[in-house]
Structure formats: structure tokens, C-alpha cells
């Protein structure tokens, strides 16, 4: 295992131009803090499931506990495309020895909290989690996860690093079959 912790990161935070509008959301300050202690494992759910760059903006719609991913202009339902990809990708990530994940704030795919979920008539109903973030949290419930907004201040950033290091240490100590990433998906 690497001395550095392995962190999954939403690809756009690394400066990759994978966003729906063809841009990125490079977070230099965050990466400068994490890079000395971490190896990054980039993940972009929307591009990796086969959507183009640029692409339509998307919203979460329907049941806040299990929302659908809907393209805003065409109304195309992309939920199945994303969840089918996620099932395969989460299996791959289970063998990546991840010790944490940094998600992009505010994304209907990557957002950890407070993502607007719209009613089918277009009205705003409640907030929920992005589709990939929710599936990731269900699969890797013990893994430290945070979004870049939650890591803006020095104290939570340091706390996140320490939790990731503690997770790495516990994973080294734990027999392979008992590692959280080895637990079956419920
Ligand atoms: S927020 Fe997630 S899905 Fe959207 S561009 Fe960034 S990595 Fe890709």
C-alpha cells in the first residue's frame, strides 16, 4: 500500500474539462494541501458513463430519497445510464484502496448534500444527494467523504486528512476480508 493515502476526487476539481459546459472547477488551494499526503483517483460519473462534453445541464427530479437524473432541455432520463455505470465503477473502486473521497459541491451526480430535487411539474421540492455520491456512500459507508466546500477552511481540511490517514491505518491492520471495501453491497 502507498505511504500516501489514496483519495477519490471528482475529476473537475483536478482541472479536467469534464463539466457539462466544457469547463473545470480546479481547486488549487485544496489540491496544494492534499497533494503532499495523497494520491488522487479521478472519477467523473457523467463523462465516464458515456455522456459528451459539453452536454445538457441536468437536475434531480422525483422522490428525494431516490431521485432521477433528468436532462433539463430535452427531459431525457439518464438515471439508468448513470446507475448501470456506477455499479461497475464502484466494483473497480473497491480494489483501489481508497481512504476517502472529495466530491464536487452542488452537482446532481457528485453532490453530497443540499442538491435540489424538483417535482415532476418543475417545482422545487426538497434537497438530496447526487446520484453517484449516494451510491458511493451506500457502498462505502465507513469511508471519509467530504465536498470541496466543506474542506475550504483549514480545520475541517486537517480533520479530513486525519480521518483518511486513520482509515488507511485501520485498513492495513484489518484482515483483507474484513475491510469495508470488501463488504458486499446491500
Ligand atoms: S461534478 Fe462530477 S459529474 Fe460533474 S463534471 Fe465534476 S466530476 Fe463530472
Evaluate whether residue 137 is within a structural domain. Answer: yes
Question: Which residue minimizes the CA distance to atom 4 of ligand 1?
Answer: 19
Question: Which residue minimizes the CA distance to atom 6 of ligand 1?
Answer: 12
In the chain, how many domains are there? 1
Q: Any residues with Cβ below 6 Å from ligand 1, and which?
A: 10-12, 18-19, 44-47, 104, 107, 109-110
- Higher-pLDDT residue of 2 and 22 is 22
List, for residues 156-178, the tens digit of each pLDDT value: 999 999 999 999 999 877 655 44
Evaluate whether residue 166 is within a structural domain. Answer: yes
Ligand 1 atom having least distance to the Cα of 104: 1
Sign of CA dihedral 83, 44, 46, 13: positive
Evaluate whether residue 67 is within a structural domain. Answer: no
In the prediction, which pLDDT does 177 show? 45
Query: How far away, in angstroms, is 171 Cα from ligand 1 center?
Result: 28
Strands annotated E in 50-123: 58-61, 68-71, 98-103, 115-118
- Pocket perturbation via mutation, ligand 1, pick of 13, 23, 46 by most ligand atoms within 8 A of CB: 46
Evaluate whether residue 83 is within a structural domain. Answer: yes
List, for residues 53-106, the tens digit of each pLDDT value: 999 999 999 988 889 999 999 999 999 999 999 999 999 999 999 999 999 999
Query: How far away, in angstroms, is 66 Cα from ligand 1 center?
Result: 19
List, for residues 131-153, the tens digit of each pLDDT value: 999 999 999 999 999 999 999 99
Evaluate whether residue 122 is within a structural domain. Answer: no
The answer on pLDDT for 186 being more than 60 is no
Q: Judge contact between 121 and 59, C-beta under 8 A.
A: no
Evaluate whether residue 52 is within a structural domain. Answer: yes
In the prediction, which pLDDT does 176 show? 52
Evaluate whether residue 156 is within a structural domain. Answer: yes
The answer on pLDDT for 2 being more than 70 is no
Query: How far away, in angstroms, is 103 Cα from ligand 1 center?
Result: 8
Query: How far away, in angstroms, is 53 Cα from ligand 1 center?
Result: 11
The confidence band for 185, taking pLDDT boundaries of 50, 70 and 90, is very low
Instruction: Give pTM, 2 decimals.
Output: 0.91
List, for residues 108-130, the tens digit of each pLDDT value: 999 999 999 998 777 877 899 99
Q: Can you give the residue range of the structural domain that contains 93?
A: 5-56+78-111+130-182
Distance CA 125, CA 127 (A): 7
The answer on pLDDT for 181 being more than 70 is no
Contacts with 180 (C-beta within 8 Å, 6 or more apart), sequence order:
140, 141, 142, 143, 171
The confidence band for 182, taking pLDDT boundaries of 50, 70 and 90, is very low
Least confident of 2-6, 29-33, 52-56, 171-175: 171-175
Evaluate whether residue 71 is within a structural domain. Answer: no
Query: How far away, in angstroms, is 45 Cα from ligand 1 center?
Result: 6
Amino acid at each position: 500500500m502507498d505511504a500516501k493515502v489514496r483519495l477519490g476526487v471528482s475529476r473537475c476539481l483536478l482541472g479536467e474539462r469534464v463539466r457539462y459546459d466544457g469547463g473545470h472547477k480546479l481547486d488549487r488551494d485544496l489540491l496544494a494541501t492534499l497533494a503532499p499526503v495523497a494520491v488522487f483517483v479521478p472519477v467523473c460519473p457523467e463523462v465516464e458513463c458515456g455522456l459528451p462534453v459539453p452536454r445538457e445541464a441536468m437536475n434531480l427530479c422525483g422522490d428525494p430519497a431516490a431521485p432521477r437524473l433528468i436532462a433539463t432541455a430535452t427531459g431525457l432520463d439518464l438515471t439508468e445510464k448513470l446507475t448501470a455505470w456506477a455499479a461497475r465503477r464502484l466494483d473497480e473502486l473497491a480494489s483501489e484502496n481508497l481512504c476517502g473521497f472529495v466530491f464536487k459541491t452542488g452537482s446532481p451526480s457528485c453532490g453530497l448534500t443540499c442538491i435540489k430535487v424538483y417535482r415532476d411539474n418543475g417545482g422545487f421540492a426538497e434537497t438530496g444527494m447526487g446520484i453517484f455520491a449516494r451510491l458511493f456512500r451506500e457502498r462505502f459507508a465507513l469511508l471519509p467523504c467530504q465536498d470541496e466546500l466543506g474542506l475550504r477552511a483549514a480545520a475541517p481540511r486537517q480533520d479530513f486528512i486525519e480521518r483518511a490517514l486513520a482509515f488507511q491505518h485501520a485498513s492495513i491492520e484489518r484482515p483483507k476480508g474484513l475491510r469495508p471495501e470488501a463488504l458486499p453491497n446491500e
